[in-house]
Amino acid sequence: MQIDRRTQIIDTSVRLFLQNGYSATGLSKIIEESGAPKGSLYYFFPNGKEEIALACIDKINKDVSAAIEHELSSAPFEEGVVNFIRNTGKFFESCKFQRLSPACFWISVETSKISSPLQQACMNVYDTWRAIYARHLTMIDIPSEKAKRIADIIVTLIEGSLVQVIVSQSATPLENIVLYIKMILSYEIGNRAK
């Protein structure tokens, strides 16, 4: 079976960036842990670590977007949001809160002042997630501007609670926001036209 070296490098890099941070992850460590030849890394990522990080952000975006979309398409909106949050908590628990940080937190905080492309990529990720939630809200007749505001609140609450999940080594912060997201959605969906 042919090994997909590019995927192997990205998967290893995602793990290392989430575990150690962007600055503390060197190309030699990525090469060592991925098992990919040095030439493969430079073949697929001639611009080095920043290009690898951009590919990692893209992978995270696709994976999380697919999970959000799946949950929102499989249940009524509120239930889909809650299912996504709870499944995220279960994922963190299954990993024993090791080698993880919120999806784009590591890159957003660490590189926002040193890399405009990485900062923009993270902003695009958050925009994508907000757009998914907003689109599903408009499908249940929430006005577009209101849907965007609610989507922003959902993403902000989830991402903020993930920081606390990592610090506390517990999924409790995610479970805590479920109640408040339910209250917000109940109110906002009940007052659709405003």
Residue/partner pairs of 143-149 with CB below 8 Å, 24 or more apart = 143/192, 143/193, 146/188, 146/192, 146/194
Both structure tokens of 146: 């209101």
* Residue pLDDT, tens place only, 40-68: 999 999 999 999 999 999 998 999 999 99
Cβ-based neighbours of 74, under 8 Å, separated by 6 or more: 80, 83
Helix (H) or strand (E) holding 64: helix 49-74
Q: Using 50, 70 and 90 to split pLDDT, how confident is the model at 104?
A: low
Q: How far apart are CA 124 and CA 33, in angstroms?
A: 29
Q: What residue spans define the domains of the chain?
A: 51-190
Cα-based distances in Å from 6 to 14, 24, 51, 55, 184: 12, 21, 12, 10, 42
Q: How far apart are CA 155 and CA 151, in angstroms?
A: 6
Highest mean pLDDT among 102-116, 135-149, 160-174: 135-149
The whole-number pLDDT of residue 72 equals 98
Q: How far apart are CA 108 and CA 128, in angstroms?
A: 15
CATH superfamily of 51-190: Tetracycline Repressor, domain 2 (1.10.357.10)
Q: Using 50, 70 and 90 to split pLDDT, how confident is the model at 103?
A: low
Q: Using 50, 70 and 90 to split pLDDT, how confident is the model at 165?
A: confident
Least confident piece of the model among 90-104, 121-135, 146-160? 90-104
Under 8 Å between Cβ of 60 and 15: no
